Structure 1
Amino acid sequence: MLTSLYVEGRGPLHRVTAGTKLAGLAIAGVVLFFVTQLWLLAVFLFLAALAYLTAGLSIREALRRIAPTLWSLLFLLAVNLFLLPMQDAAVLGLRILALVFAAAAVTATTPLAEMMAVVDRVARPLEKLNLLRPGDAGLTFGLCLRFVPDILSRYEALREAHRARGLKVRVLTLLGPLIILTLKQADEVASAIDARGLRGASKPFPSSERHSS
Structure 2
Amino acid sequence: MRSLHVSGDSLMHRTRPAVKIAGLGVFAVLIFLTREPLILLAALAASGALYFGLGQPIRAALSPLRPVILTIAIVGLFHLVLTSAEEAMVTTLRLSALMMAGAAVTATTTVSAFIETITRWTTPLERAGLAKASDIGLAVGLVVRFVPEILTRYEAIREAHRARGLRPKIATILGPLVIATLRDADNIAQAIDARGIRGQ
Give TM-score scaled by structure 2 length: 0.96
Stretches of structure 2 lacking an aligned partner (at least 5 in a row): none
Stretches of structure 1 lacking an aligned partner (at least 5 in a row): 205-213
1:30 deviates by: 0.8
Residue number in structure 2 paired with 1:90: 89
**Greater Rg by CA:** 1
- Contact 2:125–2:133, Cα closer than 8 Å, also in 1: no
- Aligned-pair identity (%): 43
1:39 deviates by: 0.7
1:18 partnered with 2:6: no
1:55 deviates by: 2.1
Residue number in structure 2 paired with 1:35: 34
Q: Distance in 2 between matches of 1:55 and 1:115?
A: 19
Residue number in structure 1 paired with 2:162: 163
State the one-letter code of the partner of 2:156.
Answer: A
Q: Provide closer, same or farther for how the CA distance between residues 71 and 195 of structure 1 changes in structure 2, counting only shifts above 3 A.
A: same
* Larger RCO of the pair (alpha carbons < 8 Å, separation 6+): 1
Q: Distance in 1 between matches of 2:160 and 2:86?
A: 42
Q: Distance in 2 between matches of 1:170 and 1:34?
A: 37
Note the 1:144-183 alignment, pairs <5 A: 144-183=143-182
Residue number in structure 2 paired with 1:210: none
1:111 deviates by: 1.1
Give TM-score scaled by structure 1 length: 0.90
Q: Deviations over 1:57-90 (max 9, x none)?
A: 2111111111011011111111111222322221
Greater CA drift, 159-168 or 186-195 = 159-168
State the one-letter code of the partner of 2:68.
Answer: T
Q: Deviations over 1:79-111 (max 9, x none)?
A: 111222322221111011100000000000111
Q: Distance in 1 between matches of 2:26 and 2:88?
A: 22
User: Which secondary structure does the structure 2 equivalent of 1:50 belong to?
Assistant: helix
Q: Distance in 2 between matches of 1:112 and 1:50?
A: 23
Q: Distance in 2 between matches of 1:79 and 1:71?
A: 12
Q: Distance in 2 between matches of 1:129 and 1:29?
A: 28
Aligned residue pair count: 200
Q: Distance in 1 between matches of 2:132 and 2:26?
A: 27
State the one-letter code of the partner of 2:189.
Answer: A
Note the 1:64-213 alignment, pairs <5 A: 64-200=63-199
The RMSD of aligned alpha carbons is 1.2
1:113 deviates by: 0.8
Q: Distance in 2 between matches of 1:138 and 1:172?
A: 34
Q: Distance in 1 between matches of 2:76 and 2:92?
A: 6
